[in-house]
Chain A
Amino acid sequence: MAVKRSLGYKVLLFLAVSALLLFTLFPFVQILSTSLKHQVDWGNPSLIPTVVNFEAYKELLGLTSQEVELPETIKIMLQNPAISEEQRAAIIEKFKSNADIFPFGRYTLNTFLLSMATALISTALATFAAYSLARLDYRGRSIFSNTVMFVYMVGGVLLMVPLYQMAVGIGLAGHITGTLVSLLLIYVVQTLPVAIYMLGNYFRTIPKSLEEAAMIDGYSRIEAIFTIIIPLSRPMLLTVMFYCFVIAWNEYLFASVFLKQYHDFHTLPLALQTLFSSKNAIWDRIMAASMLTLLPVLIAFTLANRYIASGGTAGGVKE
């Protein structure tokens, strides 16, 4: 249905949309701009760097092999005769050491594995939970459904300390395996409510008669779920997986509490936070790391978008 709209309305709409886009996208532009700026350029309020500088990216991705140059201030400091030869060597060594450099790849892998596990487990559990809520009739169904949503309403900050205490109490927080299991559990529990809600609503749009037809055709209910419901829900299953993945990918609060002592297992948001307070706290590097953290999410979204858009159930039943 084409609605005729006046020019004034169109202009107003365009301005409103532009303002909204500017508001939401500006921080990202700022990140990108800063990540490409050279040190000398940081004070420059312009978004366009005077010199485009990929050093931060190269460094984070381990593409640079060149010697780290000592900052001028350090060089002056080193000329101070009060510093002994040993101390001088130690300082230089510290600056040139690659060991301390931000291990971006490692953090990415940590985050990816944790997020992927969350997405897979959460989607699998949500599929069956949502199916039961959408299709089956049993005692306590509405209580179950409401309780799940209640979990979602309680903020993470409230639960952070008790959950950590519980993990310590049952001895999970004492070693890295237990810690990762606890964290995974928390992420799954955090993402499940929305996942169940989204999938449940989607399942309700699939005509019941499709499953009934499968059951008449000799398939049990479980078999009907796998042969009919899951293939038909692929777009929504991908959406839900993507949602869980992004939640886990960006999660900072619980990771900061549970993983604080396990540096090797830091996730990206946690690592970024640490980056601020390390000797690597250089603006272009922080921003480049932020940019690289965003990237997988962007790529995943672009890919997922193609599947999310397409509906799968057309033509099966007469409406």
Chain B
Amino acid sequence: MAEVRLKQLVKRYDKQEIIKGIDLHVQDGEFVVLVGPSGCGKSTTLRMIAGLEDINAGTIEIAGRAVNDLQPHLRNIAMVFQNYALYPHKTVKDNILFGLRKSKVSRAVMDDRLKQVATMLQLEELLNRKPADLSGGQRQRVAMGRALVRDADVFLFDEPLSNLDAKLRHHMRTEIARIHQNLKTTFIYVTHDQVEAMTLGDRVVVMWDGEIEQMGTPMDIYLNPVNTFVATFIGSPSMNLIPATYRESNGMIVMADLELPMELLPGVHTANLKDKQALYVGIRPDFFEDVHYASELEAYWKLPERTIELIEPLGFDKEVSFSIGDQFVKARLDLRSDLQAGNALGLAVNPERILVFDRDNGMRVN
């Protein structure tokens, strides 16, 4: 168990900065998820913590000790690789015990830990098999076992579920959450899947282009994204961004034929807006409500009726698409709303859930 601190961390390949001076403090026992699109530098950051990549500037501290120049094998970390990286010539048992053999723990402890991990990950039957004889999910569990059997200060996960099919991924996600609950050690987890980030992390760090865009609890990031990148990256389906203009004369935000009165938005101050400022209005599909089923509509912003262009049923939910001006907008409604394409649609939104962004720099306007 240990805390991890990144201070002004920089990574360069040739002349290009891949990591542009990031600061991150992972508390002891915390589950932190680094999430971002591919190429954002999240895996590189993790590999720098592991010692698999050199650091060009800044420091990494594990348990209060600067580890910049420490080889990976001296950092007391455990890691699960995206491609599993199992030793093909060793049995499952030897794969799992490989690290413990090096750290010279006693036979009894080794057997004990092996048993514990094998039970936790349901590997008992597989201990004498070689990796080539395992299915993808089994290999993934062995890779997890190999990390979890160690008494490491920090556990690193590099997209461990990205090679699994959807069902197994869901199952393993729950497993990982449970394991962290039991072990309460420091987990740093990298993924490009925002669902994993949301469900697993105590704290989510959204990265883009070598920088941290935002960090906070999953709900904080979901409800209060600081810019359009975070707003659209987190959440599925992605947040609707509707081009709009502020009209100071009547205190309205104008979206094509719609007008949203500023007085409805408690979170946005008119002082922060200029007349004719180009904006985006951000509304998550989840926050649209069918006027027929919404309760307290008093304070809600009610949209003039729209025409449904497309319906994508998802079972309990359905995604309903319509237009505001030229912008295609999605709303997620539940199965009570029995609708067909071409029908008229009455929607309302809780104004607290309506976000406003500057269209030029993408930053949130409060």
**Per-residue CB proximity of A217-235 to B under 8 Å, as 1/0?**
1111101000110011000
Tell yes or no: A76 within 8 A of B by CB: no
A313 partner residues in chain B, CB cutoff 8 A: 88
**Contact at A213–B79, with CB atoms within 8 Å?**
yes
Tell yes or no: A315 within 8 A of B by CB: yes
Q: How far is the CB of A237 from chain B (nearest CB, A)?
A: 13
Tell yes or no: A210 within 8 A of B by CB: yes
**Per-residue CB proximity of B269-286 to A under 8 Å, as 1/0?**
000000000000000000
A215-B84 CB under 8 A given contacts A315-B139, A318-B163? no
**Contact at B71–A220, with CB atoms within 8 Å?**
yes
Q: How far is the CB of A152 from chain B (nearest CB, A)?
A: 31
**Contact at B132–A209, with CB atoms within 8 Å?**
no
Tell yes or no: B24 within 8 A of A by CB: no
Tell yes or no: A214 within 8 A of B by CB: yes
**Contact at A317–B83, with CB atoms within 8 Å?**
yes
Q: Measured between alpha carbons, how far is A315 from B76 in the docked complex, in Å? A: 27
* A212 CB contact (under 8 Å) in B81, B86, B133, B146: B81
Tell yes or no: B87 within 8 A of A by CB: yes
Tell yes or no: A71 within 8 A of B by CB: no
Interface centre among A207, A216, A318 (most CB of B within 10 A): A216
* B139 CB contact (under 8 Å) in A214, A217, A218, A318: A318
Chain A residues numbered 175-214 whose CB sits less than 8 Å from any CB in chain B? 207, 209-210, 212-214
* A315 CB contact (under 8 Å) in B82, B86, B99: B86
Tell yes or no: A314 within 8 A of B by CB: yes
**Contact at B88–A316, with CB atoms within 8 Å?**
yes
**Contact at A312–B81, with CB atoms within 8 Å?**
no
**Contact at A214–B79, with CB atoms within 8 Å?**
no
**Per-residue CB proximity of B229-244 to A under 8 Å, as 1/0?**
0000000000000000
A220 partner residues in chain B, CB cutoff 8 A: 71, 73
Q: Measured between alpha carbons, how far is A231 from B85 in the docked complex, in Å? A: 15
Q: Measured between alpha carbons, how far is A218 from B134 in the docked complex, in Å? A: 25
Chain B residues numbered 97-111 whose CB sits less than 8 Å from any CB in chain A? 98-99, 102-103
A314 partner residues in chain B, CB cutoff 8 A: 88, 132
**Contact at B85–A317, with CB atoms within 8 Å?**
yes
With CB as the reference atom, state the residue of chain A lying closest to B147. Answer: A216
Q: Measured between alpha carbons, how far is A317 from B89 in the docked complex, in Å? A: 12
A212-B83 CB under 8 A given contacts A217-B98, A217-B102, A315-B132? no
Tally B residues with Cβ within 8 Å of A.
Answer: 33
A315-B85 CB under 8 A given contacts A217-B99, A218-B73? no
B133 partner residues in chain A, CB cutoff 8 A: 315
Tell yes or no: B216 within 8 A of A by CB: no
Q: How far is the CB of A224 from chain B (nearest CB, A)?
A: 8
With CB as the reference atom, state the residue of chain B lying closest to A234. Answer: B89
**Contact at B81–A209, with CB atoms within 8 Å?**
yes
With CB as the reference atom, state the residue of chain A lying closest to B54. Answer: A137
Q: Measured between alpha carbons, how far is A232 from B73 in the docked complex, in Å? A: 21
Interface centre among B51, B73, B130, B132 (most CB of A within 10 A): B73
**Contact at A217–B83, with CB atoms within 8 Å?**
no
Q: Measured between alpha carbons, how far is A315 from B90 in the docked complex, in Å? A: 11
With CB as the reference atom, state the residue of chain B lying closest to A212. Answer: B52
Q: How far is the CB of B46 from chain A (nearest CB, A)?
A: 11
Q: Measured between alpha carbons, how far is A318 from B132 in the docked complex, in Å? A: 10
Q: How far is the CB of A211 from chain B (nearest CB, A)?
A: 9
Tell yes or no: B78 within 8 A of A by CB: yes
**Contact at A231–B89, with CB atoms within 8 Å?**
yes
Q: Name B residues whose Cβ lies closer than 8 Å to a Cβ of A.
A: 50-52, 71-73, 76-79, 81-89, 98-99, 102-103, 130-134, 136, 139, 146, 150, 163
The 7 closest A-B pairs by CB, nearest first: A315-B132, A217-B99, A316-B88, A209-B85, A315-B131, A317-B83, A218-B102
Q: Name A residues whose Cβ lies closer than 8 Å to a Cβ of B.
A: 207, 209-210, 212-221, 223, 227-228, 231-232, 312-319
Task: Pull 18 A–B residue pairs with CB atoms less than 8 Å apart, ordered by A.
Answer: A212-B52, A212-B85, A213-B146, A214-B87, A216-B52, A216-B72, A217-B99, A218-B76, A227-B98, A312-B88, A312-B89, A315-B86, A315-B131, A315-B133, A315-B139, A318-B136, A318-B139, A319-B83
Extra contacts besides A209-B83, A317-B84, A318-B139 (20): CB < 8 Å: A207-B83, A210-B87, A213-B85, A213-B86, A215-B51, A216-B73, A216-B99, A217-B78, A218-B73, A218-B99, A315-B88, A315-B131, A315-B132, A316-B84, A316-B86, A316-B87, A317-B83, A317-B85, A318-B136, A319-B83
